[in-house]
Amino acid sequence: MNISEKEFAQVVREHKNTIYTVCYMFSNDADEVADLFQEVLINLWQGFANFKKHSNVKTWIYRVAFNTCISADRKKKRRAAAQLDMNIDLFDEKSSDRNQTTLLHSRISRLKPFDRAIVLLWLEDMSYDEIGAIIGITTKNVSVRLYRIKEELKKM
């Protein structure tokens, strides 16, 4: 199945929040998130012809986005680039909601990439069946992993 640029642009418009959310869970640096977003778009464009429609397009997009971000995360860790401290406070608001969100993001970002993916999908109110389909594990495995992840987050 060939997809036109117009059709692809429509799919991206419909699902850009999904893609951005996944990218954001793998980095809090705006430039890196933008790079991840672009990489996901490239992979979606290249893979759309092979999309068999065994699942819905949103599930497929999640899967491509997660795989892209996990691969980029692994590459980044192999490079072990030095961190630059720009002394910029990205969250200068003083609200407790913002502080809770920042704390949650900080804890989730310390999880392994696969666990981050599971938590993100769970936070998106997806069922265990949907999470399993996207990640490629059984529903029971999703349940067990989420329990362990929650316990790990509590200990942080």
Q: Which domains does the chain have, with CATH numbers?
A: 1-82 (1.10.1740.10), 94-156 (1.10.10.10)
**pLDDT tens digits, the chain, 156 residues: what are they?**
456 788 888 888 999 999 998 898 888 788 899 999 999 999 998 887 777 677 788 888 998 999 999 888 877 766 554 443 334 344 455 555 566 677 777 888 888 888 988 988 888 888 999 899 888 899 999 999 999 998 888 888
Residues listed for the chain: 156
- Predicted confidence at residue 84, as pLDDT, reads 35
- Predicted confidence at residue 79, as pLDDT, reads 56
- Predicted confidence at residue 93, as pLDDT, reads 53
- Predicted confidence at residue 35, as pLDDT, reads 92
The two three-digit tokens of residue 144, written as one number: 């067990």
- Output the pTM of the full model: 0.60
